[in-house]
Structure 1
Amino acid sequence: MTSQKIRQQFLDFFKDKQHKIVPSAPLVLKNDPTLMFNNAGMVPFKEYFLGQKTIKNKRIADTQKCLRVSGKHNDLEEVGIDTYHHTLFEMLGNWSFGDYFKKEAIDWAWELLTEVYKIDKSKLYVTVFVGDKQDHLDFDQEAYDFWKSHIDEDRIINGNKKDNFWEMGAQGPCGPCSEIHVDLRTEEEKAKTSGKDLVNKDHPQVVEIWNLVFMQYNRKADGSLVDLSAKHIDTGMGFERLCMALQGVTSNYDTDVFTPLISEVETITNHNYGKDNETDIAIRVIVDHLRAVAFSISDGQLPSNTGAGYVIRRILRRAIRYGFTFLDQKEPFIYKLTKTLSNQMGDVFPEIKNQEVLIHNVIKEEEHSFLRALDQGLLLLDRIIDNTKDKNISGGKVFELYDTYGFPFDLTQLIAKEKGYTVDEEGFNTHMQKQKERSKAASAVETSDWNVLVEDEEEEFIGYDNLNAKVKITQYRKVITKKDGEMYQLVFNMTPFYPEGGGQVGDKGHLEMNNGDVIYVLDTKKENNLIVHYTKHLPKNTTEIFNAVVNKEQRKLSASNHTATHLLHQALRKVLGNHVEQKGSLVKPKSLRFDFSHFAKVEPQQLQEIEDFVNARIRENLPLIEKRNVPMQEAIDEGAMALFGEKYGDSVRAIRFGKSIELCGGTHVQHTGEIWYFKIKSESAVAAGIRRIEAITNTAVGDYFVEIDENYEAIKHVLKNPKEPVKAIENLQEENANLKKQIEGFLKDKASNLKDELKDKVQQINGVNFISAEVSLDANSVKDLAFQLGGEIKDLFFIAGSNIDGKAILTIYISKNIANDKLHAGNIVRELGKLIQGGGGGQAFFATAGGKNPSGIKEALEKAKGYL
């Protein structure tokens, strides 16, 4: 049975049980501060469990892309080592929101596994929650009794809190669960040891395939449990493990989910899977990590140095490192697997096919970048090893390699071992822990529980039509961060404040109280389905009715910039081609930023065309045509563009200005003429295949033109008000170029005269011709002088010090025939550089150092003799 058929049978089964089949939500989370990625099938439905969103379909089924690489649910270090953990995996799930509960969930799970998939009942075991004294939870007798009607009691196993109480994180919805495990061992192995004894013991062939979570509690910030307003069902079945069970293999990687990718790796690397353990682990890591990185990019998360982007970069670098070390791949190759993945998964997840070119280019560029870092790291590691006398490399040096060059600890350890060295792992861990503590302290957040004043199912946003409203506080809490100190988060029954989203920053404004006092709203954000307003103070009387007022001017400017991004998107597609897709945006009152897919620098002429196109639409004064609560498919059919990586509901809001139609929740002008003017400030690269345009509109353009005019008048004044300022500047440039040529000639003459002087100052020290001098030449002239001397004097050690505009420069030249590990220009200049309060380096025969203390030059020149 193919993986495609297995997936489809699951969805068809629950469709017959009156479940609505929904598409997978994006991997990357945008409105949940507790998680970076969707790490479980239930995450997209968290708002329903918390009662923060109205339930439209009480029964749902899907296959959800999940990523487990950070936080509580982190499988990264197991991936590749065993055959059943993954970073990215599909979770098949069926959901009940206040509808059916334990009986139906258990009955249907058993029916699907044993009657549809026809798994032998003798291979199955189930677990039930035994209870927990600390949380005052009893044994799950109800689940046990339902299971008894399907399976022998000796196959029902008591499970502890770790295995049988499911929690998404430190806070949030949770509940007891029943796991279903399958025993895939041979009959001979089963005869030796009962499968019951191997459940939850990390046996590679006795694995959990389905978890039925009975969601009935909410874990609060103080650790206590409270009942949810309704009982829900949340099930998750590991698709890859299910395929292993149904395809008669004993490893997830032997299923057709992975075999096409493995086959492609074998072809590219000329290494065969199944021959030796190291190779097998490397290939498993590569095919698993490729999927995680590719799906993350397709959902909008590019590799970067911070946050979720850093996690994706770390996953990819782990794969590159395994290929480099164990498959002898010194050139990029992982990007070549993109086509195979797209062909294999593109029908189920169209985003992987739509973004195929982008994924290919981003991974290729990341591979190039990290392989260069690996080369640098290897050179530095060789130098560290050469300077390590006791055969034990310090943890601090290893951490520096890791932190500065992204050089993995285990790679350092492996290379050191090959050369007969050990690594101070404890010292490395100490440095790593200090870094984590610094990072944690910088982002530490203390959050209290919500104080609920009014039960309100869903907060209404009225900000499209109103910039002020009479509101009540429904709930609030205190938050303390290192950056902002003590803050308050307020939720209203309705709000005119737009929460940060779709690239647009949140509204600012104020709350007016009955006594005339004002509390300023400093920001507005969305958390799950709540619109949260940030203030420095809490009203004395939280139960009164307030007048909530949005800052009108800032909203108007944000709306101008947001509408301009839509027109810019349209212009880019017209001028550059329909391959252009939005990859991110930032809309603020003062400016806008727009990231898009394109694989070359946008030429100045094209930028002018883009700018002209947008301004033509502004002059047309196109009206806003807005449709709210439109069925998603209807909007798409009418030509609306949906942005990649965004999570859309069944009903959407479509925004049209002329031929520009997009799905968007942001705020916009009523007519494009309100934008006044659009001006591009810059165009640059963000990542492989991603370009960025930064631009301004409205009053910011007026300020820009005023600044340009002031600068122009200042230039004319400096040039003595010529009739033709441009020609005057060209004349100055020509004159300057001629003077530079003259200066270069004078410097050459000076260096030539100085060369003759220095040749008369040669000292013989231990068979080496030594010259040291303070010179008043720039760095290039000193270099030229050094090589001229080296061409005329054999066995030369030349050191020069120069003071250029208050900055010290040391230059060392050593004839190549005498340069060695002891007489190494790079090592010597690095030491002497300390005397000028600076540093440097270079090759064995030529090196330089710069510093801020010219007074140390004399001491450095004198100390240089000591090396001879």
Structure 2
Amino acid sequence: MKSQDIRQQFLDFFKSKGHLIVPSAPIVLKDDPTLMFNNSGMAQFKEFFLGNGTPKSPRIADTQKCLRVSGKHNDLEEVGIDTYHHTMFEMLGNWSFGDYFKKEAIHWAWELLTEVYKIDKDILYVTVFEGNEAENVPFDQEAFDIWKTLIAEDRILLGNKKDNFWEMGDQGPCGPCSEIHVDIRSAEEKAKQSGRELVNADHPQVVEIWNNVFMEFNRKADGSLEKLPAQHVDTGMGFERLCMVLQGVQSNYDTDVFSPLIQHIEKITGAKYTIKASNDAEEKTNIAIRVIADHVRAVAFAIADGQLPSNTGAGYVIRRILRRAIRYGFTFLNVKEAFIYQLVDTLAAQMGDSFPEIRSQKNLVMNVIKEEETSFLRTLDQGLQLLENVVTETNGEEVPGAKAFELYDTFGFPKDLTALILKEKGMSYNEADFDKAMFEQKTRSRAASEVSTDDWVTVSEGDGSEPFVGYDTLVNEVKILRYRKTDSKKDGTLYQIVLDHTPFYPEGGGQVGDKGTLYNINDSIEVIDTKKENNLILHFSRELPEHLDGTFTAKVNRELREETMANHTATHLMHQALRTILGTHVEQKGSLVAPDYLRFDFSHFAKMTEDEIADVETFVNARINEHIPLMERRNMAFADAIAEGAMALFGEKYGDHVRAIKFGESMELCGGTHVKNTADIWHFKIVSEGAVAAGIRRIEAITGEAVKRYFAEHEALLSEIKVALKNPQDSLKAVMSLQDENAKLKKQVEALLKDKAKSLKGELMNDFREINGVRFLAKQVDLNAEGAKDLAYELGKLGQNLFLVLATADEGKPMLTCYISKELVAEKGYNAGQVVRELGKHIQGGGGGQPFFATAGGKDVLGIPAALEQAAGFVK
């Protein structure tokens, strides 16, 4: 049975049981600050489990793209080593929100597996929660009794809290779970050992394929449990593992989920994947191929959903996954060129029907991955040179762990590659010290990001799901429903306050959250930020009102909001301008809308020209000058909005009904706040345009008051320039004249320095001394760096066996220049690069170059005498 058919049968089965089939949410989460990525099937339904919203249907089924590489669910280092962990995976799930419970969930799971998929009942085991006396949670007798009617009692196993009590996190909804495990070992293996002993023991052929979570508790901040007001079912079935079972293979990677990718890797690299490795070399090749096949899926889908690789946050995680794949190809498949990007073609063909975003965004994904590969391969080359330097500096056979960690942490050079290269040289690095440095860094990072969150404290009745009213007013009478306190090293103590309704816009869709005040006759507190979490609008403050009950006035900072609105509307107009001027291939790939500026990332293949930038500015300002009124439709059917030409963004999650914003021909789906008329923007100015990644450009721009400040600052600067130029009639002509004069003077200075170098050549000819058959000179000269280079080459013409070290201190900047005759390099193994790196330590600097010529710059001119004194040691 093909994987596409397995997926469809699951969805069809639960549709027949009254479930609404919904699409996968994006793999990248944008409106949940507690998660970077969707790491489970239930993530997109958190608000329903928390009681902060109402689902479209009490019964839902789907297949969800998931990514587990950080935080509590961190599988990254296992991926490829075994055959069943993955970074990206699909979670087939069926959900009940206060509807059916254990009986239906268990019966339907069993029916689908044994009657529809025809899995032999004799290879299945189930687990139920054994109970936890310390938390007063009893043995799950109900689930046990249901299973007894379906499977032999000796195949029902009791599981502890670790295996059979599922929790969303340290706090929140949780409950006992009942898993289904399958034993696909051979008959001979089964005869040797019972499958009962291998359940939940990380055996690659005795694996969990289904988990029924019965959500009936809420975990509080103090660790205690309380009953939820309604009982829910949260199920998950690993798609890749299910395919392994139904296709009769022993590994997820032997299914048709992965085999097309593996075959493509074999074709590109010439490596061979073996189902069962017969030696260590084959196993290393297998691991590398598995890593690459898995990781390209995670990276490709993350990019398609809008997350570009970067150095921070979720982007750093994606970059780390891709670099892990690159280094496995580099180290174990001996591939030194970019190749992983080519696999996206196969991935799009294979999964494009179920996940159309990977097909529509294919070219972008390929371009981004290719650039990342090329960049990291350059980093690996640099790392190899840096490692060579470390080896040269190391006394003995062991490289200090701190040095290996510096290569890893600062330059991204993988520790396993460091170990491999050192082993080839008969060396190693101190792993204990490396691990210690790694642990200390993680501890610092964890401490900096750790947040402790108290339970909610209820003040007034209400669930906090009342609508946002900030489209129509910036001031409103409100009541505080509840609050909770958070503490972190980064932000200190903060309070998160939930109101019955609010004019404060919560951060989302690229727009920053509102700021303002919450006050009444007795109290006043500052709202420093507004965010949305699990359908709740949270108002952040450093303090609480003394009296929490009663009515408050919520007042948004009008100036900040109006400046933000102007920037948000300008973003829409600029999007329209870019598609008009550059082409309809332009798509938004990210944005930031703040009061002081806007940032817009978009797909485009080339740097914008000055004329194109000017045309975009002209286009937007023309729309501003047309005084176009806002046309807003707040509850429009999604299909109708798309039919009318509204722009929908990839990676965004839209409901059945959406808000459409229209200014003339510009129409987008958007929840942000906007001006009532384009005239309110006043003026639009692009301040920068540049590359973010392959095929992705970034524009930063300003509007309104920021433009006024921009023009005022430039006018003041121009006045200062005129004064400096002694108020010429034509400032531009005066500057050009200065440039011409400067160029002539530079040529004169260069000529003088060359003459000076030739003159010094004659003076220095008698300063050479012979050491061990080498004509040696180490001296400080009154030249700049270029002059020292000319002098070194002039002296090099004097004959053979020369070893020169010249020092300069032009404008207080120390520089060392080393020249060694090529015959000395060949005969005695001298290396000018190594010489300047060692001597450069005296001037608090470093450098490098070729074996016969190298330079090093530094910070401390007082170190020059010591450097020149040490230089003779290289030839003594």
- In the superposition, the TM-score normalised over structure 1's length comes to 0.98
Could you tell me how far apart the structure 1 residues matched to 2:327 and 2:650 are?
30
1:147-186 equivalences under 5 Å are 147-186=147-186
Question: Against the structure 1 CA distance between its residues 389 and 810, is the aligned structure 2 distance closer, same or farther, given a 3 Å change threshold?
Answer: closer
Distance apart, 1:823 and its partner CA: 3.8
Distance apart, 1:56 and its partner CA: 3.1
Choose from 837, 851, 854 the match for 2:858: 851
CA contact (8 A) 2:68 2:75 kept: yes
- In the superposition, the TM-score normalised over structure 2's length comes to 0.97
* CA distances 1:499-539 after superposition (whole Å, capped 9, x unpaired): 11111111111112223x42111111112211111112110
CA contact (8 A) 1:794 1:815 kept: yes
Query: 1:690 maps to what in 2?
Result: 696
Query: 2:754 maps to what in 1?
Result: 748
Opposite residue 134 of structure 2, the aligned amino acid is: Q
Choose from 656, 660, 673 the match for 1:667: 673
Choose from 442, 455, 468 the match for 1:461: 468
Opposite residue 682 of structure 1, the aligned amino acid is: S
Question: Against the structure 1 CA distance between its residues 603 and 477, is the aligned structure 2 distance closer, same or farther, given a 3 Å change threshold?
Answer: same
Query: 2:373 maps to what in 1?
Result: 367
* CA distances 1:677-708 after superposition (whole Å, capped 9, x unpaired): 11000101111221100000011111111222
* CA distances 1:68-116 after superposition (whole Å, capped 9, x unpaired): 1112212212211221111110000000000000001011111111111
Query: 1:21 maps to what in 2?
Result: 21
Query: 2:839 maps to what in 1?
Result: 832
Question: Helix, strand or coil: the match of 1:175?
Answer: strand
Query: 1:252 maps to what in 2?
Result: 252
Question: Helix, strand or coil: the match of 2:554?
Answer: strand
Could you tell me how far apart the structure 1 residues matched to 2:331 and 2:741 are?
57
Question: Helix, strand or coil: the match of 1:324?
Answer: helix
Distance apart, 1:615 and its partner CA: 0.9
Choose from 346, 353, 357 the match for 2:359: 353
* CA distances 1:396-448 after superposition (whole Å, capped 9, x unpaired): 11101101221111222222223322321111010001111222232232322
Could you tell me how far apart the structure 2 residues matched to 1:859 and 1:202 are?
61
Distance apart, 1:347 and its partner CA: 1.1
Distance apart, 1:10 and its partner CA: 0.7
CA contact (8 A) 1:486 1:536 kept: yes
Is 1:793 equivalent to 2:799 in the alignment?
yes
Could you tell me how far apart the structure 1 residues matched to 2:857 and 2:284 are?
46
CA contact (8 A) 2:631 2:662 kept: yes
Could you tell me how far apart the structure 2 residues matched to 1:265 and 1:867 are?
49
CA contact (8 A) 2:271 2:333 kept: yes
CA contact (8 A) 2:476 2:555 kept: yes
Could you tell me how far apart the structure 2 residues matched to 1:731 and 1:207 are?
78
Could you tell me how far apart the structure 2 residues matched to 1:234 and 1:51 are?
15
Could you tell me how far apart the structure 2 residues matched to 1:689 and 1:134 are?
56
1:295-374 equivalences under 5 Å are 295-374=301-380
Is 1:523 equivalent to 2:529 in the alignment?
yes
Question: Helix, strand or coil: the match of 1:235?
Answer: strand
Shifted more, 496-505 versus 368-377: the winner is 368-377
1:380-395 equivalences under 5 Å are 380-395=386-401
Query: 2:208 maps to what in 1?
Result: 208
Query: 2:83 maps to what in 1?
Result: 83
1:721-760 equivalences under 5 Å are 721-760=727-766
Distance apart, 1:187 and its partner CA: 2.7
Question: Against the structure 1 CA distance between its residues 740 and 386, is the aligned structure 2 distance closer, same or farther, given a 3 Å change threshold?
Answer: closer
CA contact (8 A) 1:683 1:694 kept: yes
Choose from 776, 779, 783 the match for 1:773: 779
Distance apart, 1:142 and its partner CA: 0.3
Distance apart, 1:822 and its partner CA: 7.0
1:415-814 equivalences under 5 Å are 415-457=421-463, 458-515=465-522, 517-814=523-820
Distance apart, 1:166 and its partner CA: 0.9
Could you tell me how far apart the structure 2 residues matched to 1:637 and 1:367 are?
39
RMSD (CA atoms): 1.6
Opposite residue 253 of structure 2, the aligned amino acid is: Y
Query: 1:118 maps to what in 2?
Result: 118
Shifted more, 544-553 versus 390-399: the winner is 390-399
Could you tell me how far apart the structure 2 residues matched to 1:835 and 1:150 are?
79
* CA distances 1:112-159 after superposition (whole Å, capped 9, x unpaired): 111111111112111111112232211100001111111111111111
Percent identity of equivalent pairs: 66
Distance apart, 1:748 and its partner CA: 1.2
Opposite residue 122 of structure 2, the aligned amino acid is: S
1:51-130 equivalences under 5 Å are 51-130=51-130
Opposite residue 489 of structure 1, the aligned amino acid is: Q
Choose from 849, 854, 857 the match for 1:842: 849
* CA distances 1:539-590 after superposition (whole Å, capped 9, x unpaired): 0001121111001111111000000000111111111111111111111111
Shifted more, 753-762 versus 291-300: the winner is 753-762
CA contact (8 A) 1:180 1:208 kept: yes
Could you tell me how far apart the structure 2 residues matched to 1:137 and 1:180 are?
21
Could you tell me how far apart the structure 2 residues matched to 1:854 and 1:770 are?
22
Report the number of matched residues.
867
Could you tell me how far apart the structure 1 residues matched to 2:396 and 2:862 are?
37
Query: 1:266 maps to what in 2?
Result: 266
Could you tell me how far apart the structure 2 residues matched to 1:332 and 1:683 are?
27
CA contact (8 A) 2:460 2:549 kept: no
Opposite residue 769 of structure 2, the aligned amino acid is: Q
Query: 1:234 maps to what in 2?
Result: 234
Query: 2:291 maps to what in 1?
Result: 285
Could you tell me how far apart the structure 2 residues matched to 1:754 and 1:335 are?
56
Could you tell me how far apart the structure 1 residues matched to 2:477 and 2:514 are?
17
CA contact (8 A) 1:459 1:531 kept: no
CA contact (8 A) 1:464 1:667 kept: yes
Opposite residue 466 of structure 1, the aligned amino acid is: T
Opposite residue 482 of structure 1, the aligned amino acid is: K
* CA distances 1:469-524 after superposition (whole Å, capped 9, x unpaired): 11111111222232332222111111100011111111111112223x42111111
Distance apart, 1:250 and its partner CA: 1.6
Distance apart, 1:210 and its partner CA: 0.6
Could you tell me how far apart the structure 1 residues matched to 2:478 and 2:54 are?
21
Question: Helix, strand or coil: the match of 1:208?
Answer: strand
Query: 2:413 maps to what in 1?
Result: 407
Could you tell me how far apart the structure 2 residues matched to 1:153 and 1:30 are?
45
Opposite residue 27 of structure 2, the aligned amino acid is: L
Question: Helix, strand or coil: the match of 2:518?
Answer: strand
Question: Helix, strand or coil: the match of 1:737?
Answer: helix
Distance apart, 1:636 and its partner CA: 1.6
Distance apart, 1:798 and its partner CA: 1.1
Distance apart, 1:287 and its partner CA: 0.4
Could you tell me how far apart the structure 1 residues matched to 2:300 and 2:262 are?
16
Could you tell me how far apart the structure 1 residues matched to 2:723 and 2:189 are?
93
CA contact (8 A) 1:459 1:530 kept: no
Could you tell me how far apart the structure 1 residues matched to 2:796 and 2:666 are?
67
Could you tell me how far apart the structure 1 residues matched to 2:605 and 2:793 are?
42
